[in-house]
Amino acid sequence: MTISELRNMTDSELKELAKQKRITKKGKCSPTSDAYQAQNILWIRAGRPFDRKEQPNDDPWGLIDSE
């Protein structure tokens, strides 16, 4: 899924996508890459309310500047 497709989704759609998991070769559950991207977009929309040790402008996926 592309970033622009994710940006056009509603918060409830992103929340459902953020829950997606896949089973690894070792039998453990791991979030999909789309789930990570959806989580990041929700995080950005929420105004980054979570406590982080990095600088406030830190965006690991480069989504803020591409708006």
Distance CA(26)–CA(15), nearest Å, equals: 26
Give pLDDT, residue 17.
93
List Cβ neighbours of 47 (8 Å cut-off, separation of 6 or more): none
pTM as predicted: 0.65
Distance CA(50)–CA(30), nearest Å, equals: 22
Give pLDDT, residue 57.
58
Distance CA(44)–CA(36), nearest Å, equals: 12
Beta bridge partners of 52: none
Domains in the chain: boundaries: 3-46
pLDDT tens for the chain, residues 1 to 67: 888 898 899 999 999 999 999 998 889 998 999 999 999 899 888 876 655 555 555 566 665 555 4
